Amino acid sequence: MPRRSGVDGRQSPHHQDEVVPYAMSDPGARQIFFFLDEQDGTMFSITLYDTEKDLEHAMRDADSEHRHTTLARLGCTPIDARTLEVVAGAVADDAAKVDFSQGIS
């Protein structure tokens, strides 16, 4: 199956050029990742924040008009926004750095 970078197979520079910078402009936002299930077009994102206060600020905007409009432009319908705590994790010292603006192959 060919790799797709947008919902329903559409290329989506909108994610990298508009959605990512908007999300990363939140105070304390440090990383954001978008995941796409190519089988059914389901997409979700995970954003990591510096502090719980930064996360709480972002969650106040989770039901914003901007979020709904952005998702509609992508052909998506928002389902929910959740707060989860990171309880474990690691990044390998030799993990490849990825320039998401160039796409992933």
**CB contact at 8 A, 16 and 104:** no
- Give the pLDDT confidence of 14-66 residue by residue, as tens digits: 677 877 888 888 889 999 888 878 788 777 889 999 999 999 888 887 778 87
- What are the distances in angstroms from CA 11 to CA 4, 39, 77, 99? 7, 16, 18, 17
Q: What is the pTM of this model?
A: 0.68
Cα angle: 22, vertex 80, 5; to 5 degrees: 55
